[in-house]
Structure 1
Amino acid sequence: MIFLVLIASVLIAGVTVYQYREQSKDYHQDRLERKEEQIKQSISYTLQSTTYPVITENLGLIFKDEIYRIADVQNVNFNIYDLEGQLIKSSRPQLNNDSISRCLEAYLLNNLKESQNKRYVEDNLVAGNKYQASYTFITDQKFKPIGILNLPYYEDNSFNSMELREFLFRLGGVYLIMFVIAIFLAYFISKYITRSLATISDKLHQTDLTKRNEKIFVKNPSEEIGKLIDSYNEMIDELEQSAAKLARSEREQAWREMAKQVAHEIKNPLTPMRLTVQNFERNFKPSDPDAKVKIKEFSKTLIQQIDMMSSIASAFSSFAQMPAQQNETLNVVKTVKLALDIFNENYIHFISEEEEIIAKLDRTQLIRVVTNLVKNAIQAVPEVASPRILVSVVSDGAYVKISVADNGIGISDEVKEKVFEPKFTTKSSGMGLGLGMVKNIVETYKGSITLTSQPDKGSVFTVRFPKESEKK
């Protein structure tokens, strides 16, 4: 209702302004034509009563004094030009002749000659006011053109403008009253219509999946409201059933996710253990003078991975939690090198400008982060002719930065945002939990992990750990 009142007021105001302008335009056009016709009749009468031959050369003599009398009677000034556009006589005083065009422009003469009714009206603006000038031929008794009559006409719209302002002011007052009435009517009608909906709205706001929801009961509802209440009550019944199914499904899904996570975590140390055993079996020689050292390193690596599996099993016994952080002061450069020893690929390279970068981190979780990132890089380069993986460790102020770069297949922009999500993977095998686990470990230390990648060129994973870690 309010909208309709506003639209109506704008439309009527626009139509009123348009109507006043058209009315004013028609009024001035009719008045100009009447004045022009009256002057032409006076000129025709003068030409009939003159003793001079009615030719162009005698117009100045014929209207020497008569032009002032006609202008005084008709209360309008006018000018007479010859057929070439030269000024012959003007009814204006000699003092103002400087403002009168003494020679008509060529386009005026052409437009006058080409017009069907031998009449041309030019519109101009003078000092902000509309100014019209009509041009028509003066003919003799045989209707032969002997001169040109020019009638200047200045439009005076002050009266019409005043009337328009008064009308719009009154119209605005009426519509202001209508607007206030429309506001009150709209308010009370909407309250009347929605009184039954208020109860339904309150119940909808109180609907909660975590508790039992009450049904709606309204006395003598209308047919439409009754149908809405019945639909709501049916929805409440279905909602309770769905909530029970959802809770059961969420519990089952949680256990499935936990089982997948534990399987993935156990698989992580098993793979390097297998590689270590194979490498030891292939390269170990009993006659080697460093045999005891190699056996010691081999045992140390296996014990580390076994301890990792043990910690995972212990954590799972406490409702499948990730192993708690055991922060210790360690050399990150040395630990990362140790994590890379389990890989036999000759295209894996390690660089660090420093021999020692000390930070407080969990050794097991740091190794897990590095091995997961390197395994991810290895899986990205099987189809590359000259694969290369570069692992670097640098000190970055209060942080230690570990980067794993490869020249593999890369990752598209559409996939970048999803690579750290659990269960997301672009590979044909695996459960896609590795990078998600890496992100969780990094965020636990209030660190950050970023990915830079270009398809068919490679990827770079960069991890930043604070040297003085602080648990969340």
Structure 2
Amino acid sequence: MKLAKLSLRLRIFLAMILLVLLASILIAGVTIYQYNEEAHDYHQDRLNRKEENIKASVEYTIKETTYPVIKENVPLIFKDEIYEIATIHNMEINLYDLEGSLLKSSKASFAADSIPKCLDADILNTLSNTLEKRYINNTIENGEGYLSSYSVITDQKFKPLAILHLHYLENDDFLNKELNEFLERLGYAYIIMLLIAIVLAYFLSKYITKSLKTISDKMNETRLEKRNKKIDIDKTSEEIATLVQSYNSMIDELEESAVKLATSEREQAWREMAKQVAHEIKNPLTPMRLSVQSFQRKFNPEDPEINHKVDEFSKTLIQQIDTMSSIASAFSNFAKMPAQQNETLNVVKIVKLALDIFNEDYIVFKASEDEIVAKFDRTQLIRVVTNLVKNGIQAIPENSTRTPEIIVEVTSSDKVVNIIVSDNGKGIIEENKPKVFEPKFTTKSSGMGLGLAMVKNIVETYNGNITFTSQEGMGTIFKVTFPKE
């Protein structure tokens, strides 16, 4: 799982737990390093102290010996004393001549075979070339660490006699035991600390992200088409407060922009509607003007056909006036939002009543029941049916060889009512299907294209919906569905 995909709360939680774990590992590492350094210093100091004490014993032996103090007599001088000194100081002691050859060892003869018979050239060079005349190195024997100290011993006149070798065992059992006990106690302490950190991290991350969660939820609920609530959070951090303030400012700007956009859209819609109405009204005005001008120019009271001409002229004017009246009615009906009267009525009876105004004998009515009761406004229901039937009548071609047929069917299922209007007209082409319910869209030479838009508006006001299926050249089926209550 990528870190970027984790929530902020989980990242804060994991970061705090990781911090505690890293701290425990770091402290354990520092502790082990410190113990090792202390152990090294302890053995170094202990070796130095033993070396000083042994040298003091060696100097005393040289002082009290009866043998002449020369290089050749060193094995005789320390013949028995070397064992006594090694026993007192609990230290392995070896004596080498100045050329690096073994002279005497405190080890038993059968164990002395493991002692180097001759020193390395590096040791001899260091002893001869340094002011301290001393050399220390670390060795590993049988899995145990040893410190080896090499120093030059002198006679009372400070003349070099031999090389003193001390073999010191670095026994860390006691220190390792202390280290293990300390690490064990530290482990218990950090387990308790880790549990506390987990609980603290959980609540702290929850507290930190609570405000962010509130802001996130509010942002997800933000919509342009509704009034959005501002965020009100008390006692929060300065950063969160700044974020909340920015969000609230954005809400104010969004609301102001929404108002401006809605106003602009309404103005634009009415401008377009006004243009359409003006265009539709101009269409019948032009033939009216031409008819009046023609009648005025050709008017002759003595013409024997004058009555017939006046009658034709009047019919033309009346026809164009009716066209303008229908345009005005369509615009008025569309502009007026349907009121929800919620009358309890028999949908079958109302649909029959709506069909009575049509004289076409190819309109067929069907109903699954004699009575289907629903709550709907009577006038609006009639308007829905008449507009759908008119649309079907206008969809039938004038010169079609097929027998026209429009079927209006009313059915019900569970809690909904279905009104289905189907025709065998010319159908709707694919490119026009998305535009069917758009205001002003029409494929007819007259009318404003508001009928189906008005039907959709009415049906959706009553929590219903309208759908259609159409096949070009075969016909169209409109289906209106709305709840009974």
TM-score, normalising length from structure 2?
0.47
Structure scoring higher RCO (CA < 8 A, sep ≥ 6) equals 2
Q: Which has the larger radius of gyration?
A: 2
